[in-house]
Amino acid sequence: MANLWLDLGNTRLKYWLTDDIAQVIAHDAKQHLHAPAELLMGLTDRFAQLDPSFIGISSVLGEQINTQVAESLSSLSIPFEFVHVNATHPLMTSDYEPSQLGVDRWLQLLGAVDANKRQCVIGCGTAVTIDLVDHAHHLGGYIFPSIYLQREALFSGTKQISISNGTFDSIAQGISTADAVHRGILLSIVGAVNEVHQRHPNYEIIMTGGDAALLAQHIAQPIHIRDNLLLNGLIRFFNESL
């Protein structure tokens, strides 16, 4: 019995088809160019061919677009359900205000949570999120602009700094403006992670997201990079035994 898991992010639509033991048997990701409902309409035939018994959906796109998504999926006559943040979920409780916690961030935590551990879960996507989870209880966390958003903000907010060659490859001091910008931005995230670790030294550090490998190489503490935490969390939301 296969299930389809749909992740509607800010820029991409991703889906996974899993079998009855949650092994991925088909997957794809597409840029939706801010028109996810239209893209989804084009994918309904594909979803019908996959023939899942259920569709679970994570969406950060708001009620208006979610309504359009629901209308498209209704044509398939397959049961579907959107995930909503549940601060009293059997796998993980949270001190965070549920209406203020993004569903994608919450599912990342749910995908990583281990009731036997203290964990620091760092999401490295459009925003960098740092969250503390103490034996399956979410204590709260921090949100930062990603390294790329920080760079864009600096370049757009100043007249004397323009985009030039530079990479996020070191946290050593720079001897050119380009290096100083890139290394200063990188240091801001690395320094934040180090500070959180000093305050919570017994927490396992888990990183996920597109920039995880880039950031992890500059952090001295042991890092566990975990892919597809949102997928794992989406599955665990509906099946607590996994």
The catalytic residue positions are 104
In the predicted model, is pLDDT for residue 242 greater than 80? no
Torsion angle of C-alpha atoms 207, 96, 88, 212, degrees rounded to 10: -10
pLDDT average, residue stretch 78-95? 95
Return the pLDDT at 163: 63
Residue 52 neighbours by CB distance under 10 Å: 22
Query: What is the rounded average pLDDT of the residues 232-237?
Result: 95
**Of residues 165 and 11, more confidently modeled:** 11
CATH class (in words) of the domain with range 3-82: alpha beta
CATH class for the domain made up of 115-227 = alpha beta
Q: How many residues does the chain have?
A: 242
pLDDT of residue 4: 96
Confidence of residue 160 (pLDDT cuts 50, 70, 90): low
**Closest by alpha carbon to 194, among 223, 172, 167, 174?**
223
**Dihedral sign for Cα atoms in the order 19, 233, 14, 28:** negative
For the chain, give every residue range classified as CATH 3.30.420.40. Answer: 3-82, 115-227
42-51, 70-79, 133-142, 177-186: which is most confident: 133-142
The predicted model scores a pTM of 0.90
Helix, strand, coil percentages (3-state) for the chain, rounded to 5, are 35, 30, 35
SS3 assignment, position 52: coil
**In this structure, are strands 12-18 and 223-225 parallel, antiparallel, or unpaired?**
unpaired
Of 82 and 22, the structure prediction assigns the larger pLDDT to 82
